[in-house]
Amino acid sequence: MFALLLFSCMAQAFAHQAVTCNATEHANHPFKGFSKWHSVSSTTDSLLKVTMTNGIVIYVSPVDNNGPDFIQWGGYGKDITELANFEVDSSRNEDLNGKVNTIAIVAKLSKNKEEAYAAKLCADLVAYGFDDWYLPSAGELTEIYKKLGPTKKGGTGQLLTGKYWSSTEFNENAAWYLYFDDGYQSFDSKETPLACRCVRR
């Protein structure tokens, strides 16, 4: 029975079909760790693809991930010591390490039992068949704006408005955001509720 199920999963995957094969439904199979097998090609079709200037591809959630309410950056008054503080305007877009940033933020703030905040929202997100989402850095947000922002700015018009948090820290009290109406970047208090759009690679 398990061999037939495995063969069926492989056939669907090679055919580029959506695959969700749950072998744990068969109680007698010997592989308890085998739970779900997803075909990557079918699930990334729903995401917004951005090829950054450095050639790295990131996939952007097609919807805001903060729900009906905005969300804070979190950790006001706490410096994430594992992150560099980008306090100079010209340097913020050098930060392209959103995934690393997100891991560091969650590790630091989880110790302090913080309430909902942007980095954890992305880290905990399971959507479109993936669970490796993160909060984009200031540099990654800029790349997203260039590719998906308003058509008058050279983008595709798929992401037009709103202030979005980045995972780039300004200092212990503030972090960087990007305003998608015109590409303006600045920093705001970590307590300020803003929009959040998670990405993955």
Show me where the domains of the chain are located: 2-41, 48-200
CB atoms within 10 A of CB 153: 14
Give the tens place of pLDDT for each residue, 3-16: 433 334 444 433 43
The larger pLDDT score, comparing residue 180 to residue 35, is at 180
Residue 76, pLDDT > 90, answer: yes
- Taking a C-beta distance cutoff of 8 angstroms, is the pair 128, 43 a contact? yes
CA dist 59 and 56 (Å) reads 10
pLDDT value, residue 115: 81
pLDDT, average across residues 59-82 = 94
The larger pLDDT score, comparing residue 46 to residue 91, is at 46
pLDDT band at 114 (very low <50, low <70, confident <90, very high): confident
- Taking a C-beta distance cutoff of 8 angstroms, is the pair 69, 118 a contact? no
Tell me the percentage of the chain whose pLDDT exceeds 70. Answer: 79
Tokens of 177: 């955001």
pLDDT value, residue 44: 86
Lowest average pLDDT, out of 65-74, 117-126, 165-174, goes to 65-74
pLDDT, average across residues 134-146 = 97
User: Is residue 190 classed as helix, strand or coil in its secondary structure?
Assistant: coil
Mean pLDDT of the residues in the chain: 82
How far is the CA of 153 from the CAs of 60, 111, 141, in angstroms? 19, 41, 15
Q: What is the pTM of this model?
A: 0.78
pLDDT band at 67 (very low <50, low <70, confident <90, very high): confident
Host H or E run for residue 13: helix 2-14
Select from 20, 63, 62, 56 the least CA-distant residue to 44: 62
pLDDT value, residue 175: 97
Residue 151, pLDDT > 70, answer: yes
Where on the phi/psi map is residue 154: left (φ > 0), alpha (ψ -120 to 50), or beta?
left
Select from 141, 140, 145 the least CA-distant residue to 156: 145
Residue 188, pLDDT > 60, answer: yes
pLDDT value, residue 152: 87
CA dist 90 and 169 (Å) reads 14
Give the tens place of pLDDT for each residue, 99-108: 999 999 999 9
